[in-house]
Amino acid sequence: MLSKLLFAFIVAGAGVGYIYFQTTESKMADMQAQLQTQAGVITAFETRQEEQVRTIEALQGNLKKTTEALQTQSARNAEIEGEMNRYLGIFARHNLSKLAAAKPSLIETRVNKGTKDVFRTIEQDTADIDAIDD
């Protein structure tokens, strides 16, 4: 009778062990699937992070170029303002109407030269701005 009882315990233990083994295998398979899913998510996040880093670097490069162009334009603007003040000072010191009436050819040649210089400057500034856009 003791041998039957021992045999029943062994069979019951084997049954419980088999059920435990099957449950553990099922849980391990589920965990393995979750692990693969999480690995895919991590890969996607890493790819997105690399893309964001590249975008930030590109934006910083554009900001640097824009800042340099703005500084160049500000310096050029200061030069132009100085030149404008110099010309306005010349006009303030002279009575151009009286001079034009007395010597029209003298005024005409200077105005033509000044106009030519202004147009050349405008063309140069336009070329500089187009070069910055490229």
Q: Where are the beta strands (DSSP E) in the chain?
A: none
Q: pLDDT tens digits, the chain, 134 residues: what are they?
A: 778 888 888 888 888 888 888 888 889 999 999 999 999 999 999 999 999 999 999 999 999 999 999 999 999 999 999 999 998 888 788 777 777 778 788 778 888 898 999 999 999 988 888 887 66
Q: How remote is the C-alpha of 73 from its chain's centroid?
A: 21
Classify residue 59 by its DSSP letter. Answer: H
Residues 6+ apart with CB under 8 A from 100: 107
* Model pLDDT, residue 6: 82
**Residue whose pair of structure tokens reads 């109407």 in the numeric block:** 97
